[in-house]
Structure 1
């Protein structure tokens, strides 16, 4: 009886052995065809008196199938991310020049027209007032809104100071406070701002707002006209 030469199988295996010192170009990863060729070579050159266990072949096929599925999944995810980023860019271009409302205590105000914002009352309270400060830190206007129940409360500033005189356009700070359960409580304010530009990066969209700087799109409460 002739003896089966196992060197052939070893030669085939050597073709796919990783050699760190060798410099290769192009795609050096083992593909599906290469894997099947290696598997067939193993089967053809196995010792018929001591054949490889079928379980080993099934395990190799299962491992390759799992790896190929992962590669296909990666390709699908990359394609999805590309479509998502394109959609974000389209959405971003439509926001430039529009007004949005975000939680902020400062805003760029055009005092030639009425400025509208709102505050959030966490519970019913009284003596709700909003103080408007200029760049110098001086109070130019106090809006007294009285008693309110829990919820969102809108306010309007007509661009004049406490003496009734018009003030210049510019950056102003809004500080809201109310008496809740007998204690003076600071309240969050939500103010409008114009979108000057949009920045995409790190999977998040950031809006560059006039008078407020950079804020994430996720922090926007309302998108206006």
Structure 2
């Protein structure tokens, strides 16, 4: 006749833990093999006169399988994100020393050559103008652009003021405005800048631009030579 295990003072979990070797890493997570050993120990020590319902074992296995799948998915996603960030950093590092067009109203301008920028027209408009200010806020030049349809409009500043004199190189601000539906409307400008270095912060890539500081990679409109 089979003997019923009546030792109720010690749980199956306690019996299992006595067989384990001390952890050398401090990791107390229950692995798949350990879970199966615990499940077998639970089955071996159940009361044969009142056995545990098989559906309970199946439910335990299903819960563990679901948890293991989630852990594997998390590991896969983390690995994918690490690879993506490394790839993004490698691509961004190739921009160092190159010229990019970014959404900004300020630029470090070398007036020995012409500057080409862009204005974004959200809708058809008239009397488009681009005003150039120096770093002291003085108006240097007004560029009349006329009427334009919705889209990107190029403009060129040759580095001279209203008197036709060449101004010194430095930081300049560009303010674009047009009348849209009869209302004066401020417009976004996109200006060139040289990439000095790149920075990865908070999962996003930033470009450190000469004369502009740090801007997100997502603000880049075009990449030059």
TM-score, reference length from structure 1: 0.90
Unaligned runs of 5+ in 2: none
Aligned to 2:207: 207
Moved over 6 A (4+): none
Query: Cα deviations across residues 22-66 of structure 1 (Å, max 9, x unaligned)?
Result: x96412211111111111111112121111100111011111111
Is the 1:9–1:42 Cα contact (8 Å) retained in structure 2?
no
Q: CA deviation at 1:182?
A: 2.6
Unaligned runs of 5+ in 1: 18-22
2-structure distance, mates of 1:214, 1:15: 60
Distance 1:209 1:184, change over 3 A: same
1-structure distance, mates of 2:63, 2:180: 64
1-structure distance, mates of 2:209, 2:149: 31
Q: CA deviation at 1:6?
A: 4.0
Query: Cα deviations across residues 96-136 of structure 1 (Å, max 9, x unaligned)?
Result: 11111111111110000010001122232222211100011
Q: Does 1:87 find its partner at 2:59? A: no
Distance 1:208 1:118, change over 3 A: same
Aligned to 1:170: 170
RMSD: 2.0
TM-score, reference length from structure 2: 0.90
2-structure distance, mates of 1:11, 1:185: 76
Aligned to 1:150: 150
Is the 1:6–1:46 Cα contact (8 Å) retained in structure 2?
no
Aligned to 1:20: none
Distance 1:28 1:122, change over 3 A: closer
Is the 1:9–1:41 Cα contact (8 Å) retained in structure 2?
no
Aligned to 2:120: 120
Q: CA deviation at 1:174?
A: 0.6
Aligned to 2:72: 72
